[in-house]
Structure 1
Amino acid sequence: MDPAPKRSRKRWARIFAVLVALLVAAIAGVAWAYPSVAATTCPACYGLTELQDGVYTEDNLSDQQESQVKQIVEQARQLLESFYGSRTSSPILLICLTDSCYNRIGGGKERGVAVLNRAVMLSPRGINAVIASHEMSHVELHTRLTSDLEIPQWFDEGLAVVASNDPRYLAPESSADRCLVPPTAPLPVTLEQWLSAASKDANTYAKAACQVSRWLHDNQGRTGLMSLIDRLNAGAPFTSIVPLT
């Protein structure tokens, strides 16, 4: 019997074993370095149970807690549909009612966060329709945009504030001008710049919301927003449509 085929099979078996080991190591590395990404991919791996389609929470919640989560999710979805006219995204929602749960899935001190424009994580401090719809707005906007298209962070955040109708940063809808804090300098464009500015100035969200709400008011609201999205997807530069300051 020719030993060559046998040696070849052993060589391929070793190669396969090495590839599997590398894959396992890569997955473990992602889970360790980016638990939030891993958690949105495998919620059950982080102790989360599916409460309803696409909504994951801690196990053993009371009936009242489950009802609260379901109600907040429904309210957040309604806010988005009311603002955008329809909802094209269905982000996975990871909702933690305890800090230990939120820490386990990679959360920090924030109330909530959108993960890779495909999922939303909510902390115990963010379990309300305003925070939920704010983070879901990020996913909705980027779902509507071409995948590799970037927009200024201030517009993304300001739009999320308006979509969620956040009373912390906006005057009531009945107001002629919903602006509470007008920007006096260029707003942060990149995520890094935004995080830095927001950590130093508590009015950063209000300033972005002011800029976006005024732009929407001057551009027919939802009609202007849908036109903006279409023009961006067609290749128009953001700055040719929306002023930076």
Structure 2
Amino acid sequence: MIKKLSLLLVVALIPTLAWSYAKPFRFILPHLNGVQCNGSVCVEDPNDMGQAIELYGSAITNVSASGIALETKPKFVYCATTECYQSFGGGNERAISYPFLGTVIAPESWQIYITQHELVHWFQFLEIGSVSTMRKPEWFREGMAYVYSGAPESDIPEHYLPIMQRYRKWHSDKSWPEVIHQARQL
């Protein structure tokens, strides 16, 4: 009887501990973390929903126009406060994507190019695999994301500029299927 009670207690504690300490798992039930969702887009303040949907939709359109096809639309949480951003596991970066779960955008990062950057990472996760993507060289992972983000050069950290050049040279005249095939071999 005590073993069954202990097992029941452990099973009951796992979701609570995951919710408290593994913050990315909050993407599973984001509304319990104080956001409201409309499809793949979540916001803290319902008054921001229109802006977030427009930003997300435009970014999907732009990324698709560059030849990057997203088979699924990942969940994006656009935070208006640092507390929201940190509650989904964000830190000092401007946005962060968690494979299979979602992306959280920091309050100061509601720019189309940041959403596009994160969508490129989702493309990488879907086409190459999330673990495999994280093992790829930075010039590939971040170079590709910055190249297709459309970020203004003034908002790209200087150390990423040569990484972008290396990615462009590597990609050069390859088709997207060739890029994916060769990326899997990196």
User: Could you state the TM-score of these two structures normalised by the residue count of structure 1?
Assistant: 0.67
Q: CA deviation at 1:34?
A: 2.2
- Structure 1 residue aligned with 2:30, among 43, 52, 60? 43
Percentage of matched positions with identical amino acids: 20
Conserved? CA contact 1:117–1:139, under 8 Å: no
Q: Which residue of 2 aligns with 1:17?
A: 5
Are 1:58 and 2:44 counterparts?
Answer: yes
Q: Which residue of 1 aligns with 2:179?
A: 228
The Cα offsets for residues 125-146 of structure 1, whole Å up to 9 and x where unpaired, read as 1111100110121111110114
Are 1:209 and 2:171 counterparts?
Answer: no
Q: 1:78-157 alignment to 2 at 5 Å? A: 78-116=61-99, 118-146=101-129, 148-149=131-132, 150-157=135-142
Between Structure 1 and Structure 2, whose CA radius of gyration is higher?
Answer: 1
Are 1:71 and 2:57 counterparts?
Answer: no
Other structure's SS at 2:69 match: coil
- Counting matched residue pairs gives 184
Looking at secondary structure, tell me which structure has more helix per residue: 2
User: Could you state the TM-score of these two structures normalised by the residue count of structure 2?
Assistant: 0.86
State the distance in 1 between where 2:117 and 2:179 align: 19
Other structure's SS at 1:164 match: coil
Aligned structure 1 segments of 4 or more residues deviating by more than 3 angstroms:
14-17
RMSD: 2.4
State the distance in 2 between where 1:129 and 1:112 align: 12
Q: CA deviation at 1:106?
A: 2.3
In structure 1, the gaps of 5 or more residues are 1-10, 171-179, 181-201, 239-245
State the distance in 2 between where 1:169 and 1:153 align: 20
State the distance in 1 between where 2:4 and 2:43 align: 37
Conserved? CA contact 1:161–1:169, under 8 Å: no
Other structure's SS at 1:114 match: strand
The Cα offsets for residues 50-85 of structure 1, whole Å up to 9 and x where unpaired, read as 1x21211114x32xx322111100111112211234
Conserved? CA contact 1:131–1:164, under 8 Å: yes
Other structure's SS at 2:97 match: strand
